[in-house]
Structures are given as structure tokens and as C-alpha cells.
Amino acid sequence: MSESDDRDRTAEHGWFKSIWFSAVVGFGLFFLLSGAVVLLSSPSTEQPIAFNHRKHVVDNEMACSDCHQFYEREAFSGLPDAGTCSFCHLDEPQGESAEEEKLAKLLESGAPLEWKPLFRQPPHVFYSHRRHAAVAQIECSVCHGSIGESEAPPSRVRALDMDDCLGCHESQGARAQCTTCHR
Amino acid sequence: MKLNRRRFLGFTVGATAGTALGVPVSQTLSDLVASMDPPVYPPRGPEDSVLSVCRLCPGGCGVRARRVGGRIVKLEGNPLHPVNGGRLCPKGQAALQSLYHPDRVPGPLRRTGPRGLLESFEPSSWEQALNEIGERLKLLREQERPESLIMMRGDARGTSSRLAERFMKAFGSPNDVLLHRGDEAASQALYLGQGVRTMPAYDLQSAEYVLCLGGALLEAWSSPVHTMRAYGEFRQGRPGRRGKLVHVEPRLSITAAAADEWIAVRPGTEGILGLGVAGVLIAENLYDREFGGQRTLGLDDFRDREGNFREGLRTVLARDYSLEGVSAETGVPINTILRIAREFAASRSPLAVGPRKGPLVSGSLFDHLVVQWLNALVGNIDRPGGVLVAEDVPLPPWPELPSDPVADAGRMRSRFDGVNGEEPPHHSYPERLADVLLAEYPYPVEVLMVLESDPAFLCATPERFARALENIPLVVSFASLPDDTALLADWILPEAHFLEAWELDTTPPGVPFPLASLATPAVETPLHDVRPVAQVFLDLAQRIGGTVASSFPWPDLQTLIRSDVEGLYRARRGALMGTAFDEAWVQMMERAGWWAPGYRSVDELWRGMEETGGWWDPFYDHENWRRVIQTPSARHEFRTDILQALTAETVARPMNTEDNENTEGPVDHSLALVLFEPLPIAGGRGAELPFLQGILDPGHEEGWETWAEIHPETARILGLSDRDFVRVESADGSIVARARVTSRVVPDVVAVPMGLGRRGGGRWARGTGANPLRLLSPARDPLGGPPVTGATRVRLTLVAGAEARPLPEGRV
Amino acid sequence: MARWAMVIDLDRCTACQACVVACQVENNVPPTGVGEAEKGRAISWLRVVPFVDEEAHGTRPPLRLTPLPCQHCDNPPCTKVCPVQATSIDDEGLVAQIYPRCIGCRYCTTACPYTVREFNWKRPEWPEPMEQGLSPDVSIRPKGVVEKCTFCHHRLQRARDRARAENRELQEGEYMPACVETCPSGAMAFGDWDDPRSEVSRLSQSPRAFHLMEELGTEPKVIYLSKGEWGGEV
């Protein structure tokens, strides 16, 4: 097709047809794009305190269970409440960061510490931390990654999906009936 | 395609339009597609359990509340509790909904508008409530008119009730009215026969042949779970010995469906059938001659203490209740009566029960007497499988009331409802109370307090009752849901839910061993600004001051309960609740005269009660005649004089006989009204919980309405079809119900369930169903019993169109 | 591997429906109002249904009230018709329902001869503060999926979790559905049918034992014990 043909066509059929066509394309593209953004976007998670795992786990050699107190006894793992942080941070500052000052103020006010869970199975899944961590002796980092070395909370994590679980179950020969996990 | 300016402009406009439309459309889409809803995560947390006692009915089941992170998510039975052994009835299972009910009264409410509307109430505070009410009561004391305070209560057992009773005594008012709870006729029959004032306990699990004269044994029986457990054992718990149940009733109730035989009698004639059976036992010498000869009086003619001649049962039955006569009245063939009587007598352990259907349909005294006499005739009194009498719980007496001339004078005055002759509390009925209040005699009433009952609903004349309350300047209700009576009050002081408060509950009716169940609060703080009733009385007493205040030396409810438990410890008997093994051990010890309770101090007893659910004494000393028979003659008495006084008034005549002159309604097509109480809504409680509304009757899947069962023949004659709306009309009132054509009733009868038709009770109870109490005549059993339900006749007419039950606004 | 079965003794059953309500509370079933109930849409995983006994004569009551849960058939008709494999039978005989997979076609509901499957016609709603009573062990189903009795297998998950953590086997009576636990007359029993010493095995050999609609070949794992006659043995 030559340019002159285009121009001819345009001149023949009216300029509005070409506008309509591109308008429709634009409409369709952006309609779907915006819809997808609305439906699929998950809000980025902002934690009350920008917790530095590295300082606690690597530098101070704390164990995961010092703050996540339930994974050896219960199905859920738990997030530290204000009482847990108060053990060390209420009376005197442990460091010099602004975040710690923020924490101290929060602890003094007596308000609850409301962490937003990053790793959360959908409610129709039964996952037992006790079974995996205490009985099967799987390291926390196998599922949670190297979060112990992070210096700030990630705003997003790659959600674990069924394939991740099944992959490990199959390779380890663990039971993988629907009813093992779904409820 | 080449991009030129026009195309670019078109593209941009299109893109903007696309985005502008895309966002809201996709949001609407995600609203519509429910599977895209954000997931709901009920909070998790560490788990534990707390023991309490269910109070949705008088059954007294021990409850174990499962808590997750401090939130109660499920109720189960307490496995160690001797009443229910780890089981719960549907009401107990639904009790969680009553804790979290959205329409619970959130705090003290004060009326500022016209009576009868929820909108008339404004939130207030406990301070203001206690001040205002305290002032009012103090004024009454100063004016030396303490009798102008009246209290209506529905329960006599818990610590709250006992405190309320003491409050009235200390205040100086004789008007402590215990509203009828459905146990009165049974207690009266036991008293007339054995001279003891309590509820009979039937040892169902050791019986082998049970003749049930109309009683809802497997429904809203005194302690439903306890009875059902016993029934399970009765049937299949003893290898090789299966109990037989014969049920007599005009309706195929749930108990009848479970029975081996359903003897369909004409309505109101269950007692007559019983007398027919009794007649056979006597005529054929099948009764227990040893017991009859040595331990009864009145079997044969005799002369009483004053030298009067008194007819014996033998004479009365032979003359007035011949087999032919009984068969004609009841509609039961003679051979069936003979067979049942002979089977009954031949059984190793025969037991007669009945006729109570529930707290509101408690059966006539006539029928209760017959049941008691049948058991006496076969000698099954105080024997395993028979009629037992529970011992009292050895709670310590509370300190003597301080002397107070105002209170003494007040208590000497006659009760405003004219009930005399017995120490209060004495049972009374809302209908009569309404009459007395309207008459404003013998003295005006200033303050009315209503607790643990809803008399405005449980009344055959609710409009009259509402009017009667208008004469009272201050009405206080302790309801936790705004029920019919609360709507008429000036103050609603919401009581704490049973899961939110301490309580020490004692032996439920129908349970043969003394027990004390400890309820621990299962939530750290109550969900709303509520207080246990006991606490309110303690606070009020302090406000009033003087001797009233010093009558209550306990600062709070827990301290009071603790002092009661100290008394249990000092009683030196019984044990903590435990397993079957523990029970057997304690029984063995006590039989030998030892006491080995497993606790050695009050602290240990208290902690043990918190951990196990309570204290009990499983040892039953059978055939201790001096304890269980306390009549003047020291024998079981057959009071044929009482029977004959009752006969003329209480027995319904069958329809369509030649000499039928006693009908109150029109003679054509009038049917006998039979009332029954489904367990889920028995006692007028339960309609507020949606799960209970859905299970009113297994044959009636929709629930949520009042229905009227009629036989297909009757329906044909009246021109009615299944599921038509009908007006059920008596001489005293009318209701609309849905007709259910079924052969579960005999012809010429209409059966209507009780428990629906409330104006209050929250969103699910309000406006659902109709209250058949309105159909009853307010006339009473001459000995003060409940309305005689068997004698009401009604007419049914088809209702069509607009009058059919409308769906209340805003209902889902 | 166990094979989970239930025994319902109709001679003990009093049709009190405690099992019905216990199931609803345990499994986060939303309360429905009168409007939904009238349309027959009230959700109840377990129902007590009236069977009319046509052969009853004389004084024998012609009504048999029978609790009817999902029968967890060994040859289930429902799993065969699901187009998306949202329902399947697992290695212990439990017929599972996986809610995220369900597309709400209700083919399974039609296929089930016992009509024990329920459909969520509307979004579940709990008026505040009733949502505080929700159990974290059972998922909340959205609108548009089918649900049914699961033999409370969330209790099995927790019980097995506990047993494994304590390094032992699951014991008899450690796992039982909510209905079995609450039944006041002890009419229900539950356990491993493959274990010859279990109560379920013992009761299944009773001469009173029968299945519902056995002729359809569904091989249900709910065993009923008929009401015994006078003088009948256990």
C-alpha cells in the first residue's frame, strides 16, 4: 500500500472514520487495562514500624521463635505483640534509629501493634506451622525466603500458591489429597 | 497504519473514555462476582475453654465454651457434668447466637416516649439508673410503704434469684411473685401423694416400660438433655434389655414418633385413659400389693382422722371409670387398655410419666395425679426406675436479716394478688396479675421489677396486661433483649449473658441428685454495658442504705458465690463433678459411710469446681421412706377427694355427642384446640435465634411461622387445603396460622405450637408467628393451676388475600 | 489410612435436632431469615427428615424422623458429574467440596439422590457482632458455591496435627463431627470402619443396621440402626 493510497482512502471515506478507528482501539485498550489494574491490584502493605530483620536476626542472633511464638505449638505462627517488643525496647533505646523512637512512643501509648500479615493463606486452606516447622523440621526460609536478612519490611511478597506446596509435597512424598489442606 | 494527528487525538479521546468507563465498570463487576469478595479471616489465636452453665432453659446443662484468642466460637457440653455429660440440646448449641445477638440492649435504657415502642428509649447510664431507682425505693421505705414494690420473676434457682428474694424480704415487701414455670402441677401432685414440695425426678434410664400420658418426654421435658441421655440408655444402653415406650396423645408428636406405640386418644382424655389402666391394675390384682398394703392410704375405703368416711381409689374407679366408660371417652378399644395395663404391671420396672408438654403447656393437675398414682400402684416410688426425690443442695444459710420494723410490718401485709396460705414465693399467672393490678386493690403499686420472665408475652390477655402496667409509675425490666415486657417498662437494665457472669446454679428440675454448677465468666469483659442482676441488687441495696444495705454484706457476686461454696465444703459430703468412674467411687464410699471428696480445703474445692464444672452428690439412698413420704399419715395418699373436685371442671368433652352443652364457641364445626411446645421455642424463649426458628418441627421445613395441624378428614369437611392461611378463633381471641393438613393429629382437633407471636425479642422474633395463648380462656384449674388447655374449642375459617401473614418490612 | 463412617441409631434418636444446629454453628453457616426460608434456601448441612412408614399398622407410629447428613458414599454420584473437579472422594473416604473451584453449576446437587447438597444463593451475612462467633477453622463460603457436610474434616485436620506433633497415632474418639459430639441421647457414633475394633465397626454388624437407598449402589458410609422391636437386641 502506498502512502498516496492511504491519503486517497482517507479523502474518500471521510476523516472521521480514521479517528473512530483509533478511538475504538484506544478505548478498548485502556478499558481493559484500567479494569485489570483495578481488579488485580493488591494494595502495597505498609507496616506500623519499618522493622529491620537483619539487626535482630543476624546482628543480635535472635531466633525466629522469639517473636513468632506459636509456630512450634500451633497451626499459626503469630506476629509479635506490643508486649514482646516491650521486653527490650520499652525501658531504654537499643540503638539510634528513628524507627525505634517511633516504636518507643507507640509502646508507651499502650496502643496495640497492628502488623499487616504478608504471608497469608486464603481462609479455605488449612496450613499447620507446627506440622511443617516442628514435626517436619523445615527451615522457615524455605517458604519465607531470606526475610531474616532484610533491612526493611517488603511492601509485597510473591504469594505462595498451590503449586509451591504441591511441588514440595510430591517430592517429599507427603500426603496431598484435597482434604489434607482444604477446608 | 500511520499515526497522524487525527488518529492520535482519536486514540487519546478513546483511551480517556475507556479509562473513565473501565474503572467503575470493573468495580461493579467485582461487586457482582461474589467469589471476588475479599476473604474473611476470623481471627486466630491461642485456644482454651471455660466452663459455664446454660440458662436458655431450666435444664441446667454444663457448658464448655471454646475460646480462640479470647473469643468464644463454639459451645459444647461439659463432659464431666452429671446433667448432660458433654451433650447439648439445639438451644444450647444456638446459645452462642444469643451472646452475639445484634439486638441486645447495649446498656441501661430510659423511656422518654410512649410505652410499648423501642424508639421510646434513650441510652442512659448505670449511675443514673441506680440513682433514680434507688431514690424511688428509698422514698417508699421512708413512707413506710415497702409493699408497693412488687417483683415478678421467672426463676427460683440461681444466685441472682435468691438475691432478689432476699432483697424483697429485706426491703419489706411480701409481693415477691414467682411466675408459673410449668412445674407447679407436677409438684402439686407429688405433694398430694407424698407430702414433699419439689419436682418429681423420673429415673428413666433404669425403667423398662414407660407409659407416657401426653407428656413431651423427649422434647421440652424438665431437663431435656438429661432426659434424652437417659432415654438413650433406656433404649440401647443395657445389652439385652431394651425399654419400651408407649405414648398416649391425640397428636403424633416427636415423642410419639419415637415411641413403640402411639395410642391416639381424644384430646384431654389422657388422664382418663390412665385411670382406666389403674382400674385394671386394681381389678385384676396386678398392683404391687406389698407397697399398696403397707405404704399407701386411700386404695381402699377408710375413715380419716376426723372420723369421716372417705372413698378409696378402688371404689371410685370401679364406679366412675369402668373400662367401657373409659373406652368410650378416650376412643381407645377395651382390649388395648387391658393389654397396656397388663404389660405395664408385668414389666420389671414400669414408669408412668406425663402430661407436661413444656413450661407453658404444663398439663392439668388431674392428669398429674393420675401419673403419680399409677407409679404408686406398681410400687415404683423411690426405687430405681421410679419416682425419685432429689435432696436439697447443702448451701449455707445466708446471714439473718437485721431487725427492721418497716420491713417487718411490710412483710406482714397481705400480698397484692391475694395469694395466701403459703410462704412466698408462690406461683402466679400474668392474667390474674393483670386483673389485680387493674383493680388497684388492696393498695396501689408504685414500682414493678421483672426479671427472667416475659409476662407480657406469656399472657392470654396481653392487652390487659399492658394496660395494667400503665398504672404503675415505675416499671423496671432486666431483659437483655428488648422483649414484650421490656417494651412496656420505664427502665431496661440489661442483664449480663450467662457467658458473661459468675453464677452458682443448683439442681435442675427432674434431676434426682443434688448439684451445684459453677459458671465462670467466659469473656473478659461483657460485650455490652451490662451487669449481672445479682450485682444490680447489691448496688441498689447500698443506695437505699440502712438495714437494707446491711442485709447484703457481700461486695460483689463472686464473693457471695465463694461464701456459698464454703458452705458446700463444710457440708462434708459429695464430690467434684467427674467421670463415671469417679461417680461409682463416690457412691461406694458414701454407701459405706465415708467421705472422700478429692479436695481438702475451700480453695481446692473452688479451683476444682472451676476445672470440672461444679459439685454434686451422686449417692441416692433408695427407699428412705421418712425422707420421701411426709404426708400426715406417713403413707402415700390417693387423694380421690381432689380428683373428684377436678373431674367436673377440667375434662374436655368429645365433640358431637348428644349432650354436648359445654362448648363456648359456636357448635358447628368446632374443633378441640391442642397446644404443644416445640423444644426450640419452649417457654417462650428461642424465637429470637434464627437457627432455632429454622428447626421448629422436622416435618415443617420452613419454620418461621405458627401453623395449625388438622386431619385430612377435618380439612375436607371445612374446605381447607394444606398451607392455606386460616383464622383460628375461640370465644376469647383469634390468631392467623398456616394450615397443615396431616394425619399427625386425630380428626376434630387442631394442634397449634406455642412460642411465637412476640412483639419484642429482636429482629428475628418480632412479628414472627402468632401466640395461641390468646385463644385460651383465662379460667384456671380450680386449685390454681395453669389454664386448662384441653378444654378450649375453636373455629377455623379460611383467610385469603391481604389478611394473610404479611412479611414485616425490612425482613430478609 | 482410615475409612471414616458414621452410625446413627434411630432407636436412640429423639429428633431433637441438636445435631442440625451444632453443625450450623460449627461450620460458619450463615443465619438465614424468614424470606430465604420460605424459598427453601435456608442452609442446613444436616436435616432431620420425616419418612412416612407406609407399613405401620395398629398403634405403631407411622413416622420415622431420620437425621440425614451427607452419606459420604464410596461410590458417589456427585463427584462424577462435577465439571471442574471441585468435589472428589479422598483416600479416607471423605467426599470433599473445594469451594474456590466450584463454579456453582449445581450439577452435583441434582445428582445427589439424598439431596444433601446446599447452594449459596446469596452472600453470607452476619449482622454485627455475630461475626465474632465465627470459627477460624472453617472457611466462609462466598455466594454461588455449593456446600455440604464434610464430616467436620477440619476437626480431623486439627486432631491429626496434634497427634503427629505428639508423635502418636490418632485415637478412637479423638476426631468426631460436631453433630456426633453433641447428640444428647448418644444416637450417633463415628470412627474408622476399617478398624475392626472401632465402635462403628461393631455397630455396623448389628442386625438392625441398614443403609438408605442402598439399591442405588452409592455405597453410603452412614449406617443406620433401625428402631428395635420390643425385646430386640443391640
ipTM for the predicted complex: 0.95
pLDDT at A11: 52
Q: How many Cβ pairs closer than 8 A exist between chain B and C?
A: 230
Residues C89-138: tens digit of each pLDDT: 999 999 999 999 999 999 999 999 999 999 999 999 999 999 999 999 99
| C3-21 mean pLDDT | 97
Which of B73, B249, B689 would best serve as a mutation to test chain C binding (most C beta carbons within 10 A)?
B73
Neighboring chain C residues of B94 at a CB cutoff of 8 Å: 21, 25
Q: Are C182 and C198 spatial neighbours (Cβ–Cβ below 8 Å)?
A: no
**Spatial separation of the C-alpha atoms in residues B431 and B442, rounded to whole Å:** 17
Q: Which H or E element spans position B342?
A: helix B334-346
Whether residue B811 is predicted with pLDDT greater than 70 in this model: the reply is no
Q: Is the confidence at residue B652, as pLDDT, over 50?
A: no
Domains, in order of start, for chain C:
4-228 (3.30.70.20)
Q: What is the mean pLDDT of chain C?
A: 93
**Which residue is associated with the grid cell 402441677?**
B185
Q: Is residue B57 classed as helix, strand or coil in its secondary structure? A: coil
Verify that A65 and A16 share a domain, yes or no: no
CB contact, 8 Å: C135 with chain A?
Answer: no
Mean pLDDT within B208-221: 95
Q: Residue A26 falls within a domain, yes or no?
A: yes
**Each residue's pLDDT tens digit, A142-152:** 888 888 888 88
> Among candidates B429, B479, B482, which has minimal Cα distance to B458?
B429
Residue A2 in 3-state DSSP?
Answer: coil
Contact B219 C231 (CB under 8 A): no
Q: Which of B26, B33, B68 to mutate to test the interface with A (most CBs of A within 10 A)?
A: B26
Distance from CA of B49 to the nearest CA of A (A): 16
Query: Based on the domain organization, do A148 and A178 belong to the same domain?
Result: yes
What range does the domain containing A66 cover? 60-79+118-183
Q: How far is C161 from chain A (nearest CA, A)?
A: 6
Check if B15 contacts A (Cβ < 8 Å).
yes
Q: What is the pLDDT of residues A53-105, one digit of tens each?
A: 888 888 888 888 888 888 888 888 888 888 888 888 877 778 788 888 888 88
Q: Is residue A166 part of a domain?
A: yes
C47 CB neighbours in chain B (<8 A) are: 698, 701
A181 and A139 assigned to the same domain:
yes
| Statement: residue B804 has pLDDT above 60 | no
C-alpha cell at B138: 428509698
pLDDT attached to residue B812: 30
**A169 in the same domain as A140:** yes
Judge whether A2 lies within some domain. yes
What value does the mean pLDDT take over residues B586-595?
A: 81
Q: A64 and A36 share a domain?
A: no
- What CA–CA distance (Å, rounded) separates A129 from A133? 6
Chain A residues close to B22, C-beta within 8 Å: 30-35, 38
Give A102's contacts (C-beta < 8 A, 6+ positions apart). A49
- Residues A22, A65, single domain; the answer is no
**Pair A124, A161 in one domain:** yes
Query: In whole angstroms, what is the distance from residue B340 CA to residue B350 CA?
Result: 11
B807 CB within 8 Å of a chain C CB: yes
Rounded to 5°, angle at Cα B338 from B335 and B341: 150
Can you tell me the distance from the alpha carbon of C105 to that of B786, in angstroms, rounded to the nearest whole number? 55
The pLDDT score that the predictor gives to residue B655 is: 35
Indicate if A37 and A126 belong to the same structural domain: no
- Asked if the Cβ–Cβ distance from A177 to C91 is below 8 Å, we say yes
Q: Give the Cα separation of B316 and B373 in Å (integer).
A: 13
The CA distance from B41 to C72, in Å, is 28
Is the residue at A156 inside a domain? yes
Share of chain B above pLDDT 90, in %: 69
Alpha carbon C221 to chain centroid distance?
A: 10
Residues 6+ apart with CB under 8 A from C195: C2, C172, C201
Across the interface, which of C17, C33, C144 has its CB nearest the CB of B690? C33
- Closest Cβ–Cβ partner in B86, B232, B698 for C49: B698
- Nearest CB neighbour to C182, from listed B88, B692, B705: B88
pLDDT in tens, C170-219: 999 999 999 999 999 999 999 999 999 999 999 999 999 999 999 999 99
Are A72 and A124 in a shared domain? yes
Q: Rounded to the nearest 5°, which phi and psi values hold at B446?
A: -100, -45
pLDDT at residue A37, rounded to an integer: 79
Residue A126: list chain C partners with CB under 8 A.
Answer: 137, 154, 157
The answer to whether residue C157 neighbours chain A at the CB level (below 8 Å) is: yes
DSSP state of B668: T
| pLDDT given for residue B648 in this prediction | 52
Instruction: Select the more confidently predicted residue: A44 or A115.
Output: A115
Nearest to A178 among C90, C140, C161 (CB): C90
Q: Is residue A92 part of a domain?
A: no
What's the distance, Cα to Cα, between the start and end of chain A in Å? 62
For residues A147-158, give the mean pLDDT.
Answer: 83
Task: List chains touching A (3+ CB pairs under 8 A).
Answer: B, C
| B442 cis-preceded (ω within 30 degrees of 0) | yes
Q: Is A174 a domain residue?
A: yes
User: Do A141 and A173 lie in a common domain?
Assistant: yes
Judge whether B199 and B188 are in contact, CB under 8 Å: no
Rounded to 10 degrees, the C-alpha dihedral A137/A143/A146/A148 comes to -60
Same domain (yes/no): A37, A122: no
The minimum CA-CA distance between B259 and chain C, rounded to whole Å, is 7
Residue B34 to residue C60, Cβ atoms within 8 A: no
Tally the domains of chain A.
Answer: 2
**A122 shares its domain with A154:** yes
